Structure 1
Amino acid sequence: MAGFRIRQAAAEDARILADMLVEAANWNALRARPRVAVLEDPKVLRYVAGWKRPGDFGCVAEDTHGAPVGACWARLFPADEPGSGFVAVGVPELTLGVNTQWRAQGVGRALLQELGRLAAGSGANRLSLSVERANFAQRLYVSEGYITVESRATADTMVRAVR
């Protein structure tokens, strides 16, 4: 893990998580939207609104100067207001975002693995996520043991048991 370090996300990291949520939403440069447009969407904003609620946990990757380069976090959603990757009450849904210039350098994998350790420490049995099938991150999720449990038009819901 040369060039970056990972730390646990704190309550004051809401802005960093919002930045990484925008990175995640804009995974396809041809369909990238301005930050304000991404965060005005209530279906997207709910992944960071009110961070850090009870049950929320996550981690932040920083470069050697302490600048954030990625984040991965999870939160619980109720059955009557499910997230895009909702599978069941009590299963945290994760979000992973990495700055464009830091992609394909191990940051996303390291964050995903650290989130798995945090999930185990929180008592979670599984983690879930939603990913568009065209997103290159789907290969990362598969390589880390996530399996598709539901397919929709362009996206898959994936789950992994927490070890």
Structure 2
Amino acid sequence: MASAATQAQANALNAKMEGEASKMLDEVERHWMRKVARQSFACALKCYDKAGTSGPAESLESCTRNCQAPYQQSSNLIQQEVAQFQNRLNRNMQECQERARDMIKPGMENDSYAISKVETALITCMEKQVNEHIKLMQPMKDRITSVLKNYQ
């Protein structure tokens, strides 16, 4: 069981990571996804204008589905990139935990100094991973926006 201080440090690292991810995703949403969504809705509105009150329902559905495709593809791309990023971060955090667990020897649980060293190693590893993954957000954002540019 991690000490309260170690748990607080881990929570702070988690909050840092979540904050940076939220900032990046919010920027992508505000500057890119809203444009794609607006274009999709404008296109769908044209479908309704074109179909009027007498156009066949199948044509209207096909037209609106085609209009929504870029937004759906963009959304899927973002979800895929974020999932890959989270999986990679989770694997690296698991590796940190396994390394810390490997440092624990039998009878060590009563040695506060030794446990403190293990906890320090764990937090150091986690902090390194968080900082590395924060740096990976810009390339991820660049990949996402390069695709989203094609929908504008």
State the TM-score, normalized to the length of structure 2.
Answer: 0.21
Say which one has the larger Rg. Answer: 2
Query: Which structure has the highest strand share of the two?
Result: 1
Query: Which structure has the highest helix share of the two?
Result: 2
State the TM-score, normalized to the length of structure 1.
Answer: 0.20
